[in-house]
Amino acid sequence: MNPRFADIRDWIFDLDNCLYPASTGLFALIDERMGAYIQRLLDCDVAEAKRVQKAHFHEHGTTLAGLMKEHGVDPHDFLEDVHGIPLDRVQHDERLGKLLPRLPGRRFVFTNGDAPYAKRVLEAIGVQQHFDDLHDIHASSYRPKPDPHGYALLCERFGIDPAHALLADDMVQNLAPAKALGMTTVWVDNGSERGDHGYDDPVVDHRIADLGDWLQSILGEKE
């Protein structure tokens, strides 16, 4: 183990565009289903559904949060619907399956999605058995990353000491609350990030391009 990470006891990973490549494009499929859901909900056309979807996202952090607040949408119904996508795009990652168990301590998934979807994706990658647990949007009281509330609930639920924890995420804004708590932060800079974040952002401790490559390097694994 690279000595810079010797004190890490809890390894926390985002799911989408982090444990699998952003090029997989699952978000595009979910985005389409969100639009269709809003069309049915509001009996509107595609353009209006897209406007509502993005307005809720920017104002409330997620489309779901806006739909819950302004339209009384059942979160379980929404998430089950929009996550009902085929996962044939997700590739089995044998290397990741070998590296994750070598990390000392516990391993968690922290996602703005829900547990049933996360488990399906982890199974498709072939790594579900290597995680101790996962913390989803329900467990975060529907307050998605980067709302600090979910991070506090995560730490409380699993007895995580932030000083000995690490969060890897593909969105810089999601690293900020972790950094404020004292966690080590890893930005998976793989092209999924939206917004103007510099590479020298103070909330980023380590910037990497590929999770598997990085794990291989810190664990001293050879090809």
Q: What is the pLDDT of residues 55-85, one digit of tens each?
A: 998 888 789 989 999 999 999 999 999 999 9
Helix ranges, the chain (H) = 26-42, 46-60, 63-71, 75-82, 94-99, 115-125, 148-158, 172-181, 211-218
Say which CATH topology domain 26-82 has: DNA polymerase; domain 1 (1.10.150)
Residue 201 is predicted with a pLDDT of 81
Q: Kindly indicate the confidence band of residue 192, based on its pLDDT and cuts at 50, 70 and 90.
A: low
Sheet with 206-208: list strands edge to edge.
133-135, 106-110, 10-13, 165-169, 184-188, 206-208
**Could you give the maximum distance between any two Cα atoms of the chain, in Å?**
57
Q: Which two tokens stand for residue 187?
A: 């930005």
Q: 26-82: same fold as 3-21+92-218?
A: no
Instruction: Judge whether 18 and 109 are in contact, CB under 8 Å.
Output: no
Distance CA 166, CA 157 (A): 16
Query: Any idea where the domains of the chain sit in the sequence?
Result: 3-21+92-218, 26-82
Least Cα distance to 147 among 73, 62, 69, 74 occurs for 62
Instruction: Judge whether 170 and 19 are in contact, CB under 8 Å.
Output: no
Say which CATH topology domain 3-21+92-218 has: Rossmann fold (3.40.50)
Residue 159 is predicted with a pLDDT of 98
Question: Residue 197 above 60 pLDDT?
Answer: no
